[in-house]
Chain A
């Protein structure tokens, strides 16, 4: 139906979104987005916890290592990391490893590596801020009871920090979910990729983009709702300001 402000007529056909095969493509896209997000998040959380904690220890050398990791990885666009991991890194690997990657979803592995390492650097900053917001008396008290520094981190500081950083952690997790869309550039068939594919097969860009937009909105609002409940559950009683104070 042509509208006054549209120079070209556009025929809406919403039914393509649930007709075969396009509906199935969208579902596959959602599953791949979730897979990328979960795998990338696990890698990012592991790297972020280690490097974030390491940036607060007394050892100058270890702090430096953590700082180098964070500064290298967060100051380069994720898209460039995707290209580097997918097109660049195989070039320097032995032929056998290249072949293995070709047979085992190399693009998915590259996307997870890029997402995990990039967001790991950003999560490290969240973890560092969380640990630094704990009063130093907590560490001193832990050490005075005879815990070693590693034990004090593992049993006291990191558990408290994890409870403090839920809001900024939620934000970073949502960023990771949204950024997983960049995997389309290295042909991982996630939600945005499928949206584009439906558009090029059916020329129904408006419907396809609406579907993609609603999928991401739904996923983001869903994750926020779950994290809000978690935040409420793990909140430390008695603190006025919960979380690292990050606005987003």
Chain B
């Protein structure tokens, strides 16, 4: 058995340009889905974390239930829920991109929210009290005092979750979204060279995720919390 690299040579452009970047006739793209999910998931995650930490029961109870349920079911299940439910709720079937984006944001925000909550809780209480003493309101205390320190503390776990998120976007292929995985499946239907094609996209994903983890280490050394010397965590 020999590897047939010709199949990669003639298809790598489609796999990368269409599948990874999402430029081409099919739209799609792994990065076109992953990057907005990271941004929106992070924003929603902050909301979830603040709601979970709130003293008001009508805020923290629903938020806790949301985190419990989402973390108790597989991502595929959440994707299928939105895939099934959005057309019924809105009357129009949304394109796969929007279904995937909504499902991923809702799913990842539960995990990101827990990381952000832990980060916020790692900031000493005295910081909040000092901010209050200088006359800052809750929103300003969060924005200028707590969150900047919290982000430094949670940087490694945050990036780990972003790496998991990038890997998770491969599940969008299940509902037909043209990401890197779907692109490989599409090419494979014509070429029937699964080993070479899936190995190739595995390498692409690997470079992406390993690159992110190395980048996060460099970033953490530059702007991470000074107290945390060698305590590194991986994805």
User: Would you call A74 and B1 a contact (CB within 8 A)?
Assistant: no
Nearest residue, chain A, Cβ from B210: A75
Q: Which of these, A125, A216, A221, contacts B74 with CB under 8 Å?
A: A216
Q: Are B195 and A92 in contact (CB under 8 A)?
A: yes
Segment touching A, from B51-59, B129-137, B197-205 = B197-205
B contact residues, total (Cβ < 8 Å) = 51
- In this complex, the interface size class of chain A, counting residues with CB under 8 Å from chain B, is 35 or more
Q: Which residues 91-147 of A sit at the B interface, judged by CB distance below 8 A?
A: 91-93, 122, 125, 129
Is B90 part of the binding interface, using a Cβ–Cβ cutoff of 8 Å?
Answer: yes
Bound-state CA distance A125–B234 (Å) is 7
Contact call B171/A79, Cβ cutoff below 8 A: yes
8 Å CB interface, A165-198 against B: 178-182, 184-185, 192, 195-196
Give every chain A residue within 8 A of B1 (Cβ-Cβ).
Answer: 91-93
Hey, which chain B residues are within 8 Å of A199, CB to CB? Answer: 84
Number of A-B pairs, beta carbon distance below 8 Å = 132
Instruction: Give the docked Cα–Cα distance between A185 and B182 (Å).
Output: 12
By a CB distance below 8 angstroms, the chain B residues around A246 are 233
Residues of A within 8 A of B71 (CB): 220, 248
| Cα-based distance from A92 to B198 in the complex (angstroms) | 13
Q: List the A side residues contacting B88 at CB < 8 Å.
A: 6-8, 10, 206
Q: Decide if B167 touches A76 in the complex (CB within 8 Å).
A: yes
User: Is A217 part of the contact surface with B, judged by Cβ < 8 Å?
Assistant: yes
* A30 within 8 Å of B (CB atoms): no
Q: Does B89 contact A (CB under 8 A)?
A: yes
Looking at A83, A209, A216, the one whose CB has the most chain B CB atoms below 10 A away is A83
The CA of A8 and the CA of B86, in the complex, are separated in Å by 11
Specify the main secondary structure of chain A where it touches its partner.
helix
A5 within 8 A of B: yes
Q: Does A80 contact B (CB under 8 A)?
A: yes
Residues B53-96 near A (CB distance < 8 A): 69, 71-77, 80-81, 84-85, 87-92
User: Could you say which residues of chain A place their CB within 8 Å of the CB of B193?
Assistant: 91
- Say whether B210 contacts A192, CB under 8 Å: no
A221:B84 contact, CB within 8 angstroms: no
Interface residues of A in 205-248 (CB under 8 A from B): 205-206, 209, 212-213, 216-217, 220-221, 246-248
- B206 A79 Cβ-Cβ under 8 A: no
A residues near B197, Cβ cutoff 8 Å: 88
- The answer to whether A216 and B77 touch (CB under 8 A), given A83-B198, A84-B198, A91-B194, is yes
Contacts of A72 in B (CB 8 A): 206
A78–B163 alpha-carbon span in the complex (Å): 13
- B75 surroundings in chain A (CB, below 8 A): 178
Which residue in A78, A178, A192 is a CB contact (below 8 Å) of B167? A78
Q: Does A58 contact B (CB under 8 A)?
A: no
Contact B199 A88 (CB under 8 A): yes
A180 neighbours in B (Cβ, 8 Å): 74
With beta carbons under 8 angstroms apart, the residue of B80, B171, B234 that contacts A195 is: B80
Answer whether residue A21 sits at the interface, using C-beta atoms and an 8 A cutoff: no
Q: Is the CB of B167 within 8 A of A77?
A: yes
Which residues of chain B (85-136) have a CB below 8 Å from chain A?
Answer: 85, 87-92, 111, 114-115, 118
**Which residues of the other chain, B, contact A87 by a CB distance below 8 angstroms?**
188, 194-195, 198
Contact status A77-B194, CB under 8 Å: no
A7 to B199: give the CA distance in the assembly, Å. 44
The 9 closest A-B pairs by CB, nearest first: A7-B91, A87-B194, A88-B195, A181-B74, A75-B209, A77-B167, A77-B170, A178-B74, A220-B72
Residues of A at the B interface (CB closer than 8 Å) are 5-8, 10, 70-72, 74-81, 83-84, 87-89, 91-93, 122, 125, 129, 178-182, 184-185, 192, 195-196, 199, 205-206, 209, 212-213, 216-217, 220-221, 246-248
